Amino acid sequence: MLSNDCIFCKIIKGEIPSTKVYEDDKMLVFKDIEPKARVHLLAVAKTHFKLLEEANAEGRGLVDYMLFKIPEIARQNGCENGYRLIINQGADAGQTVFHLHIHILGGKELPW
């Protein structure tokens, strides 16, 4: 289920443009609009939920599926030497979009 007032759901529905690098029936990966690294992608499941703790069985399966798919997607998009995954959860983490997403950061050695 997608939401009507969520930026990432609108991107999934094509109502907001994005630079897509991978898409299938379960997930979409697109370039972050404000990259924090040479390569900065966002992986989102095609189901709206805000936080890991809100994921039902389907949502948990989608997180698992994304983690399974990300290595090849990262490698094909300039992260041959490694990458970092970040999932911000809530206000203290600075989460700004409340549709669970996995940041994929890489392209050169990252400062910790």
Q: Is 33 in the site for ligand 5GP (CB under 6 A)?
A: yes
Among the candidate windows 47-55, 61-69, 74-82, 95-103, which touches ligand 5GP by CB under 6 A? 95-103
Other C-beta atoms closer than 10 Å to the C-beta of 10 total 17
Question: In the annotation, is 101 catalytic?
Answer: yes
Q: Is 77 in the site for ligand 5GP (CB under 6 A)?
A: no
Among the candidate windows 7-15, 21-29, 58-66, 76-84, which touches Zn ion by CB under 5 A? 7-15
The 8-class DSSP code of residue 111 comes to P
Residues 6 or more apart in contact with residue 103 via CB below 8 angstroms = 32, 36, 40, 41, 42, 84, 85, 86, 87, 88
Residues 6 or more apart in contact with residue 44 via CB below 8 angstroms = 8, 11, 12, 27, 28, 29, 30, 99, 100, 101, 102
- Of the two residues 4 and 57, which places its CB atom closer to ligand 5GP in the complex? 4
- Of the two residues 9 and 28, which places its CB atom closer to Zn ion in the complex? 9
How many residues does this entry show for the chain?
Answer: 112
Catalytically annotated residue among 40, 48, 99, 101:
101
Among the candidate windows 16-24, 25-33, 41-49, 70-78, which touches Zn ion by CB under 5 A? 41-49
Residue 76: phi and psi, rounded to 5, are: -75, -5
- Interface residue list for ligand 5GP (CB under 6 A): 7, 16, 18, 30-34, 42, 88, 94-97
